[in-house]
Amino acid sequence: MTWLLTNWKLVAILSTVAASFVAGWHIRAISDAAAFEVVLSNQRQADIAECSKDKHITEEASHDYEDKIAALNDRLASLRLHPTHCVVPTSGTSGRRNATTAQPEHGGQDGVTDTALYDFAAEAETYRLRLKACQQFVLDTWREKRQ
């Protein structure tokens, strides 16, 4: 205690230096936090812009796919307006099963109905369109990400 009383000037100087150091450190921390907030704000804006671009690409791909499926359904509906005919399979040869005696799930006594074939073709075309739409979506997304 006597040392403090005899060296009070040194204690005052060290206290002032320490307080200045702490104040400077605090001001720098506030400055760094403000700079970090700016960086976060800029990143947030960039993320929002990127999300908006991705959403636009997704919507375009979805609408294109929906349009193609609607066109396919319209073509299928127009085909169904015509009278239904049967597609007669060729009869089997010796040692083979005679196809005309079988009762297919989607056919009648004379063979497979054209409606069943149209449905099968439409389902296959739907899968093809879905695959093409997915491929185009991936290409569009990667093209956008490269820019």
Indicate the number of domains in the chain: 1
Beta strands (DSSP E) in 24-137 are 86-87, 107-108, 111-113
Tens of pLDDT, residues 10-31: 888 888 988 888 888 888 888 8
Q: What is the pLDDT of residue 25?
A: 87
Maximum distance among all Cα pairs of the chain, rounded to whole angstroms: 125
pTM beyond 0.85: no
Residue 122 near residue 76, CB atoms below 8 Å: yes
